[in-house]
Amino acid sequence: MDIFENAQGKSVLLKMAKAIQEKKAYLGEVDGLIGDGDHGMNMNKGFRVFEERIKDRDIGFVQGLGELGEILFNEIGGSMGPIYGTLFMDASEAGEGKEEIGTEELAQMLEAGLCGLYEIVEARVGDKTMVDTLAPAVASLKSSVKEGVPLGEALIRMKIKAEEGRDSTIGLIARYGRSSRLGERSREVPDAGAVSCCIILCALADGIDELMKDAEGGRI
């Protein structure tokens, strides 16, 4: 199966929320090395609120991303709330009206989120931010579209590029945020935003893969 039904995408959203909650302490530890240490707490707050609000509702993947974005934008502290909020709200807007989501649709949504992010931040690849994770992940999906790669394989490729992007931040000097004041001392530590973005993208990919397998097995 090369697609998943938007209406069945709630399980993907919940997997994303659970992944962030499970990594709360780790994200705090990573952020504390060169930042203020609150990234895990703030992200956990937003995703936990989101989980509570949708757990007893019928909600599709696209609509859910929009609601997640609104919560992160409006209800969590730190600089990452508006950043992730914009990403998810713009991705959701790009997915409006889509009943089925395949490689092309997912690529369009995440690219829209990345473009929205570029409108509010100056960071680009190489600046030691979440962009170092998101941009190569989006590029990978776009390449998969051109090559006609099925969604399942495209997700595997996307995860690999997201992980590579996350790891690339270890050797970079931070150019934005509190950690930018450390200069060379910001090397040898991954960027917390790059780490959380990788967690989210990998959970999204795993959630979609599980959803497709369930549909093939007749469990949906």
**How much is the average pLDDT of 27-56?**
94
**How much is the average pLDDT of 12-41?**
94
Report the pLDDT value the prediction gives residue 181, as an integer from 0 to 100.
Answer: 73
What confidence tens digit (pLDDT) does each residue in 111-168 have? 999 999 999 999 999 999 999 999 999 999 999 999 999 999 999 999 999 999 999 9
Report CA-CA distances (Å) from 65 to 70, 91, 164, 179.
9, 7, 25, 29
In this structure, the chain runs to a length of 220
**How much is the average pLDDT of 35-44?**
92
**How much is the average pLDDT of 38-42?**
94
Residue 100 has pLDDT above 80, yes or no: yes
Smallest CA-to-CA distance from 82 within 92, 94, 93, 69 is with 69
Report CA-CA distances (Å) from 12 to 25, 60, 102, 128, 204.
22, 10, 14, 28, 6
Residue 218 has pLDDT above 70, yes or no: no
pTM of the model: 0.95
Would you place residue 216 in the very low, low, confident or very high pLDDT band (cuts 50, 70, 90)? Answer: confident
Which CATH entry fits the domain spanning 4-216: 1.25.40.340, 3.90.1150.10, 3.30.9.10, 3.30.300.10?
Answer: 1.25.40.340
What confidence tens digit (pLDDT) does each residue in 60-72 have? 999 999 999 999 9
